[in-house]
Amino acid sequence: MRRADGPARRRSRPRGFIAWSAVWLATCILAVAYAQPTEALAPSRGALRVVVFGDFNGPYGRLDYPPAVARTVAAIVEVWRPDLVLLPGDLVAGQSRALPDERFAAMWDAFDAVVAAPLRAAGIPYAATMGNHDASKLRNADGGFAFAREREAAAAYWQDPRHLAGLELVDADGYPFAWSFRLGPLFVAVVDASGPVVDEDERADLRATLRSPAARSAGLRWVMGHLPLLGIAEGRAREGEVLWRAEALRDLLLDEGVDTYVSGHQAAFYAGRWGGLELLFAGGVGARPLLGASVPPRSVVNVVDIELDALDVRIVAFAPSGPTRLSDALMPARVEGFGGVVMRSPRWSD
């Protein structure tokens, strides 16, 4: 893949230590007060377990997180104990020109305290794709990034090598925006879908990555990007909220043996299948209604268990409140999405 837009630069990071410490302490208290995970919540474990959890940022510039985030991290660490956590974007609350420069680093510090540091302490690898609120790729008329400060802050935070512990890097030239890695038999390519356009050059780079020996020899190939291929949520089923030329991108993924595209942004959970490609719309904290569905919107975190010999993949969705398991019987058999029809995946299990 192409090298990211300029080298990541480490910047001074004024934190407002007292205020930040108060946020951190409050989050820890919430984690103790609200997180009461039990082994009864753990699905039957596969040979490889992946938790998918994203879209939990708050309003612009916030340095704290809803209590559901602490509950979910506690369940990840104490109960589900996955081999990998995938974070499909919108992890901090940027994409605002009104925020002071120092706020972006402070938001990543808050994310680290609440999410990344507990995962590192538990020895659980994690990998992220940048969301539009993390590091939007939208450009100004002059070609420069419209939210350049966010992209610089994201690059500065993610350049810390601790974030890559436990992952076998395949292509890191575009890290943290476009890169790839393996974890045992699972190959994951991260695409910069922090805006609606994944252009022809980016698609060519993605194709080359998926043809690499590391990808070809993997038992399972996934691609993760923030914006989805199709729109499935009220208020997000329109241009700009999904990827441009999505059908052609789907066909590229299928041609190169990709099993699943993992996305965020829609703030609605659905495990579906579109033209042979599995789509995992990850949901998040705070939810939008599914198009045409009568079920109430729910916050969701996903636990995915994989048996590679038979390529058996099981997806269990949890509401972070509790957390409690969601029944697939409550979800529609199909969603008439913006850009195409998504059929409910047989992999989704209650």
Quote the pTM value. Answer: 0.89
pLDDT digits (tens, 9 = 90+) for 100-155: 999 999 999 999 999 999 999 999 999 999 999 999 999 999 999 999 999 999 99
What are the structural domain ranges in the chain?
17-344
**17-344: which CATH number, 3.40.960.10, 2.130.10.10, 3.60.21.10, 3.30.365.10?**
3.60.21.10
- pLDDT for residue 201: 98
- Distant-in-sequence, close-in-space partners of 229: CB < 8 Å, separation ≥ 6: 242, 243, 246, 249, 250, 261, 263, 274, 277, 279, 339, 340
* Contact partners, residue 132, CB within 8 Å, separation at least 6: 89, 90, 95, 138, 194, 195, 226, 227, 265
Q: Residue 18: pLDDT above 70?
A: no
Question: How far is the C-alpha of 312 from the C-alpha of 58, rounded, in Å?
Answer: 35
- pLDDT at position 16: 44
Mean per-residue pLDDT of the chain = 89
CA dihedral angle for residue 25, residue 29, residue 35, residue 38, rounded to 10 degrees: 100
Chain position carrying tokens 């914006």: 227
Q: Give the pLDDT band of residue 267 (cuts 50, 70, 90).
A: very high
